[in-house]
Amino acid sequence: MSGDLTYVTDVMRASQGKWSETRTSPPITETDVRRWAIATFYPEKPPRIYWDPEYAATTRWGGIVAPPDFNPFAWSFDRGPSARLSMRGQRADGSAVTGMNGGQTDTYGVPMRPGDTITERSRLIGWWEQEGRLGHTLFVRSEIEWRNQDDEHVRTRLSIGVRF
Amino acid sequence: MSVRFDDIQVGDRLPEWSRKTSFPEWNRYAAVNHEFVPFHMDDDAGRAAGNPKGAFGMGNLRYAYIVNALRDWIGDEGIVREAGCQHRVLNCKDDVLTVVGEVTEKVIEDGEQRVRLEINVVNQDGVRTCPGHAVVVLP
């Protein structure tokens, strides 16, 4: 760090370690899953487990499942943890910082399926700041947990957000 | 066609999985992930965010490539139990990203036959952009 320069806010300090309110996704549809798979496998055709219900019924899953990285919150009105002030940081003059994805580790439980609704909670774990190629930079560590409508674990993400 | 736990050895390599990336890939991902961030869509915005080459791709799409490479390798009977990466180098327009990986450990844990891999995503210049790891469960 250079001097007292910090992008850490009082909101971040107050929320560290505390789980957020939950939010719940709209029900996942076959179309959501198919489009996601087409986009992430483009220009190749994605595996049939993601779009062919007759084939998927013959697999161990008994039906279509979503790719592990599928985001059921993509088109929610609530933009989620990364948009919250508690996760963002701020310049001393109150102006916004630029945010980028620094990386993540996901641990997966049961797969997501059409018809599922996913409930999310998140918390800010901690942060560090350093001078880098982009100038003063804040790294924010957070945890995001997903469970389905049967309270089964779907995914835990440990994420690093980069703010500069 | 799934690979099987008994057929895997430490040191085995993940089949290479490649995509050329630019606006056709990024725009499709923006559409499904509602990720309409200016520096992924506009060269001036990309330069303003610190990339002299202009717009750059989503870290989450590069992560999807890792997960997809694992899926194509293990087939529908396998499970991706864990995957992680660090986005160290930006994905610029027309980069060819190749997911590479090597088996580092085989273990039976929690009743599952698990294979651990070191993963990276290498661009067309041989730059290792995205060090990571994965754990898959195999039949």
Contact A61 B81 (CB under 8 A): no
Give chain B's residues under pLDDT 50.
none
Tell me the pLDDT of chain A (164 aa) as tens digits: 456 899 998 889 999 999 989 999 999 999 999 999 999 999 999 999 999 999 999 999 999 999 999 999 999 887 776 666 666 788 888 888 888 889 999 999 999 999 999 999 999 999 999 998 888 999 999 999 999 999 999 999 999 999 98
* Total structural domains within chain B: 1
Distance of CA A23 to the CA centre of its chain: 12
Interface test with A, best of B18, B19, B33, B138 (most A CBs within 10 A): B33
Distance CA A60, CA A100 (A): 37
With CB atoms and an 8 Å threshold, state whether A105 touches B84: yes
**Domain housing B18:** 5-137
Q: Output the CATH code of domain A10-27+79-163.
A: 3.10.129.10
Alpha-carbon distance of B51 to B62, in angstroms, equals 17
Q: Which residues of chain B make contact with A82, given a CB cutoff of 8 A?
A: none
| Residues 11-30 (B) with a CB less than 8 A from some CB of A | 19, 24-25, 28-29
Report the chain B residue with the minimal C-alpha distance to residue A100.
B59
Q: Which of B26, B32, B39, B116 to mutate to test the interface with A (most CBs of A within 10 A)?
A: B32
Could you list the beta-strand ranges (E) of A5-66: 23-24
Closest residue of A to B2, CA-based? A59
Q: How far apart are CA A143 and CA A16, in angstroms?
A: 11
Q: What is the pLDDT of residue A4?
A: 81
* Domain edges within chain A: 10-27+79-163, 29-65
DSSP at B15: P
DSSP string, B24-87: HHHHHHHHHHT---GGGT-HHHHHHTT-TT--B--HHHHHHHHHHHHHHHH-TT-EEEEEEEE-
pTM of the model: 0.93
The CA distance from B21 to the nearest CA of chain A, in Å, is 10
**Looking at beta carbons, which residues of chain A come within 8 Å of B84?**
103-106, 158
* pLDDT of res. A92: 83
pLDDT for A1: 46
Which chain A residues contact residue B56 at CB under 8 A? none
Nearest residue, CB atoms, A75 vs list B34, B59, B61: B34
- CATH number (domain holding residue B79): 3.10.129.10
